[in-house]
Amino acid sequence: MLIEYGVWVTRLALAVVFGLSAWGKLADRAGTRQAVGDFEVPVRWVPAVALGLPVVEAVLAVSVLLPWTVAAAAIGALLLLTVFTAVMVRLMRSGKRPACSCFGAATATPIGARSIVRNGVLMLLAAVVLWGAFARPLVPAGLPADTATGLAFFAVVCGVLTWLAGQVGALRRRLDEQALSTLGAEGLPVGSVAPEFELLDVAGDRTSLADLLAAGRAVLLVFVHPGCELCAALARELPRWRTRTDLTMVVVGNGDAVEQAAWGVEQGLGDDIPALVQQGNEAALRYRVRGTPSAVLIDADGRVAAPVARGAIATRELILARKSVRTQLSSRSNGHHAAAHGPR
């Protein structure tokens, strides 16, 4: 009986995934057509594919629950996922990363390694469903009616909650973007208390501003985007500047932690310059940073130490100015020290 329950649960899970995917595409017809075109479907076929794809996914979502169609539905899901994955790999190898609201995602995000891994997990799920179709072909007929129905209802609720959570996240990101576009002067006033934040690092752990200031050094937040060439050029210089200053340098990106980690390795940032990831634009919004690359300098007391440095050149100048000030202060301190202990 335990195997029968497992077979039914895997069918419900696959049905929810394809159901959410179909619903998301039908709810955003314009976005679906845009995504289909970005995936290099011939222009004359874009309208048909944009309409037919969610219909196929909806049919698969229903068919995977019926004992007499589950095998065909599982095979169809495997074929569809294989095609999706092959197209993604081809585009990524050619240096293209179109945005995709794949499988119920509330917002379109560029494809990457995470997309391939997700498709692989779904293909494994479809393979398990296919095995179950032959190993236990009568499921859910052999299960207690109330239990089978309860599990189906629970799956529907989980699907609805997942969709709602995605919509809330998308709404928050849109509000952040709107707030950024309507802000007045860029950056916070020099001397104001730096807003606290808590962001994920590439390992999935949370890091706050207090954590960064714990070493007693000033902190330089460098806001970047992996798709920005100027950001990449600036990032490659940061390790050199890090060895010449007493700053704690942190790179702040957006979106996918795995992709941010890979981008950091590619630019040679190393462990001395950690990367943090915003889920939307929460840190940029609090510091009134509008574009990338940009930098915010926070002194050791937790106050904004300089205006926002907008662009790679301004960021370099900010680092050089900080280095120059520290050198002057050190020279003055040494001079006073010598005068105090000199001959009288």
Cβ(98)–Cβ(71) below 8 Å: no
Cβ(115)–Cβ(176) below 8 Å: no
Give the pLDDT score at 341: 46
Give the pLDDT score at 202: 82
Confidence of residue 71 (pLDDT cuts 50, 70, 90): very high
Residue 177 pLDDT exceeds 70: no
Of 63-67, 169-173, 220-224, 264-268, minimum mean pLDDT range:
169-173
SS3 annotation, the chain: CHHHHHHHHHHHHHHHHHHHHHHHHHHCHHHHHHHHHHCCCCHHHHHHHHHHHHHHHHHHHHHCCCCCCHHHHHHHHHHHHHHHHHHHHHHHHCCCCCEECHHHCCCCEECCHHHHHHHHHHHHHHHHHHHHHHHCCCCCCCCCHHHHHHHHHHHHHHHHHHHHHHHHHHHHHHHHHHHHHHCCCCCCCCCCECCCCEEEECCCCEEEHHHHHCCCCCEEEEECCCCCHHHHHHHHHHHHHHCCCCCEEEEEEECCHHHHHHHHHHHCCCCCCCEEEECCCHHHHHCCCCCCCEEEEECCCCEECCCCEECHHHHHHHHHHHHHHHHHHHHHHHHHHHHHHCCC
Give the pLDDT score at 166: 75
Give the pLDDT score at 339: 42
Q: What is the pLDDT of residues 23-33, one digit of tens each?
A: 888 888 877 88
Instruction: State both tokens at 80.
Output: 């569809």
Q: What is the pLDDT of residues 278-295, one digit of tens each?
A: 877 889 988 989 888 999
Give the pLDDT score at 340: 44
Confidence of residue 258 (pLDDT cuts 50, 70, 90): confident
Q: What is the pLDDT of residues 290-309, one digit of tens each?
A: 888 999 999 999 999 999 99
Give the pLDDT score at 332: 47
Give the pLDDT score at 119: 92
**Averaged pLDDT, 101-121:** 75
